[in-house]
Amino acid sequence: MLEYIDTETKDAPLWWHKQGRTQTASGYGLRLTTSKKALYNGRWYRVYAACVSNAASYWIETRGRRLYLRG
Taking only the tens place, the pLDDT of each residue in 2-39 is 999 999 999 999 998 999 998 999 889 999 999 999 99
Are β-strands 3-5 and 65-69 bridged in parallel, bridged antiparallel, or unpaired?
parallel
Domains held by the chain: number: 1
Please tell me whether the overall predicted TM-score, pTM, comes out greater than 0.75 for this model.
Answer: yes
Higher pLDDT, 9 or 71: 9
Q: Tell me the residue range of the domain where 7 lies.
A: 3-69
Handedness of CA 56, 48, 42, 68 (dihedral sign): positive
Measuring CA to CA, how many Å separate 7 from each of 21, 47, 50, 63? 27, 11, 19, 18
Residues 31-54, mean pLDDT to the nearest whole number:
95
